[in-house]
Amino acid sequence: MRVERQSICTIVPMTNSVKVRSADLEDVLEMVRMRHAVFRSMADAGAASRPEEIEDTSWYVNAKEAIAHQINRGTLGAFVIDAESSSLHPANAASRPLSACAIATLDERLPGPGFPQGLSGSMSSVFVEPTHRGRGYARLVVSAGISWLESRGAEVVDLHATPQATQLYRALGFTEPRSLSLRRVFTSTLNT
């Protein structure tokens, strides 16, 4: 799904004073945990490229480094809602607990018709803890990510959605791309 730049997204404050904030380096481990939860959801929906490897965590180190690097470089904006209490995570957790997360990345691609700057955004790792769903948290963090990308000049935003989230994304202006999206998974990179 994608949203064109002309879509304007406004963050509407919720009455229960939920605060969306920009994630920082202290949130990286928790964002990786939530990213893994997204992959598990995708696997449950039949959309994982490698479902047999869904419980593998060897990628955590690389993901933590990539997120931290891109935050520092200014090409990744992550938006989170802090957990209301520590009940979601053990007391010895290595990072502060979150209720919701969405990650926006900005990429430079080649310009083209209708895409004169070549700036493309992606939304990923949109996750809300099951005990906090139905409160509008996903809408808040995704809206923050869209606004962040738009403020940096992104001309289009892409994302992959589970069937459960399609209605939300459509309400935020995402549509089916006109071109067919295909993917090739390289098996030669496994276990390297």
Residue 191 forms part of a structural domain: no
Residue 182 forms part of a structural domain: no
pTM of the model: 0.83
Residue 187 forms part of a structural domain: no
Q: What are phi and psi of 101, to 5 degrees?
A: -155, 145
Residue 19 forms part of a structural domain: yes
Residue 6 forms part of a structural domain: yes
> CATH number, domain at 123?
3.40.630.30
Residue 185 forms part of a structural domain: no
Residue 176 forms part of a structural domain: no
H or E element at residue 62: helix 60-73
Structural domain total, the chain: 1
Residue 192 forms part of a structural domain: no
Domain that holds residue 15: 2-171
Per-residue pLDDT of the chain (192 residues; tens, 9 = 90+): 654 443 334 444 444 689 999 999 999 999 999 999 999 988 888 877 787 888 999 999 999 999 999 999 999 999 999 998 655 555 445 568 999 999 999 999 999 998 999 999 999 999 999 999 999 999 999 999 999 999 999 999 999 888 889 999 999 999 998 888 888 888 765 555
CA distance 103 to 60: 16
CA distance 75 to 31: 16
